[in-house]
């Protein structure tokens, strides 16, 4: 009779460890320039792993129909640890996510066209992912008999950003100060230093989308019609680049890095 493997309980032990410590601390980030120091933000969430402060003018948002997304930039010093390629990929990912998420409820216009709302964002912090731990997490998950095995609760990264929206007359529509650490259960592990920050860009975009969609008292802004939504999505891809269909399919089976997926990264300025 074959003796039981001494490693047969490793996946279960790792899963329990992830349950006990399932979130990374959100990066504190540097001081950005988008939100003035005298603006009073309401604290919506305040935890080590996730924080959100905001101020929203829902009446102004309700009147808007068109929206323009300004290329994303880094706050001074926020990209100090990144390579030029990592920097390019993050800017493209955050910009495309913000644009695509808002395209469901607004008509997205090109950079040279006027808009009712102008959305600007500044990345204030990147929590780097440990590539070795992320790669090990993928292997453990692939070999584990436990469905939906959490990733290793070590070496996880994060993202922090400031996002503001202004109307055509320059008045503020909303300000959002946002930070999030990776989660062992919901953030996929990819062997890239910017893997977690890249994936969390969509979490940021969802929160921004909710701010622009929710009108209070449980009411939601109507979605734009399908032809407008299709044009808006194409405008987003033209501004911030595409992800190739082949990369999307391969990503279902392999832990593809953002650097690979963003083969033709676009959007974003020099960050200054």
How far is Cα 12 from Cα 148, in angstroms, rounded to an integer? 11
Confidence of residue 272 (pLDDT cuts 50, 70, 90): very low
Is 241 inside any structural domain?
Answer: yes
pLDDT value of position 252 = 52
Q: List pLDDT tens digits, range 90-118.
A: 999 999 999 999 999 999 999 889 999 99
User: Do 141 and 151 contact (CB within 8 A), yes or no?
Assistant: yes
pLDDT value of position 243 = 76
pLDDT value of position 215 = 85
Closest CA relative to residue 45, chosen from 20, 68, 26, 59: 26
pLDDT at 15 over 60: no
pLDDT value of position 191 = 87
Distances (CA, A) of 112 to 69, 109, 115, 134, 242: 11, 8, 10, 41, 21
Is 174 inside any structural domain?
Answer: yes
What's the domain count of the chain? 1
User: Do 52 and 176 contact (CB within 8 A), yes or no?
Assistant: yes
Is 253 inside any structural domain?
Answer: yes
- pLDDT > 70: percent of the chain: 78
What does pLDDT average to over the chain? 84
Confidence of residue 16 (pLDDT cuts 50, 70, 90): very low
Q: List pLDDT tens digits, range 64-74.
A: 999 999 999 99
Is 267 inside any structural domain?
Answer: no
pLDDT at 9 over 50: no
pLDDT value of position 142 = 61
154: domain range?
51-261
Cα atoms in the Cβ-side hemisphere of radius 13 Å centred on 64: 33
Q: List pLDDT tens digits, range 112-130.
A: 899 999 999 999 999 999 8
pLDDT value of position 193 = 95
DSSP-derived secondary structure for 172-197: EEEEEEEEEE-BTTTS---SSTTHHH
Reduced to 3 DSSP states, what percent helix, strand and coil does the chain have, rounded to the nearest 5?
35, 20, 45
Q: What is the pTM of this model?
A: 0.84
How far is Cα 18 from Cα 131, in angstroms, rounded to an integer? 17
Is 15 inside any structural domain?
Answer: no
Q: List pLDDT tens digits, range 128-165.
A: 998 877 766 666 666 566 666 677 777 899 999 999 99
Confidence of residue 13 (pLDDT cuts 50, 70, 90): very low
For 55, the 3-state DSSP assignment is strand
Is 34 inside any structural domain?
Answer: no
Mean pLDDT across 222-232: 95
Q: List pLDDT tens digits, range 184-212.
A: 888 888 889 999 999 999 999 999 999 99
How far is Cα 81 from Cα 126, in angstroms, rounded to an integer? 9
Is 21 inside any structural domain?
Answer: no
Mean pLDDT across 83-91: 96
Is 12 inside any structural domain?
Answer: no
> What distance lies between CA 71 and its chain's CA centroid?
15
- pLDDT > 90: percent of the chain: 58
């Amino acid at each position: 009779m074959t003796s039981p493997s001494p490693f047969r309980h490793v996946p279960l032990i790792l899963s329990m460890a992830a349950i006990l410590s399932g979130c990374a601390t959100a990066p504190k980030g540097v001081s950005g320039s988008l939100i003035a120091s005298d603006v009073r933000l309401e604290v919506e969430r305040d935890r080590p792993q996730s924080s959100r402060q905001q101020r929203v003018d829902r009446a102004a948002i309700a009147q808007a129909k068109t929206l323009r997304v300004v290329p994303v930039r880094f706050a001074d010093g926020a990209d100090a640890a990144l390579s030029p390629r990592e920097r390019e990929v993050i800017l493209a990912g955050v910009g495309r996510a913000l644009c695509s998420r808002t395209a469901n409820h607004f008509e997205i216009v090109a950079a040279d066209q006027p808009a009712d709302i102008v959305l600007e964002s500044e990345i204030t912090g990147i929590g780097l992912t440990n590539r070795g731990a992320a790669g090990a997490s993928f292997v453990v998950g692939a070999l584990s008999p436990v469905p939906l095995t959490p990733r290793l609760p070590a070496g996880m990264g994060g993202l922090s950003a400031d996002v503001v929206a202004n109307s055509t007359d320059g008045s503020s529509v909303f300000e959002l100060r946002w930070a999030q650490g990776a989660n062992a259960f919901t953030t996929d592990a990819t062997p890239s230093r910017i893997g977690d920050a890249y994936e969390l860009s969509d979490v940021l975009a969802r929160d921004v989308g909710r701010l622009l969609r929710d009108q209070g008292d449980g009411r939601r802004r109507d979605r734009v019609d399908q032809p407008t939504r299709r044009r808006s999505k194409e405008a987003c891809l033209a501004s911030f680049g595409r992800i190739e269909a082949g990369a999307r399919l391969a990503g279902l089976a392999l832990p593809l890095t953002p650097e690979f997926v963003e083969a033709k990264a676009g959007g974003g300025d020099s960050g200054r």
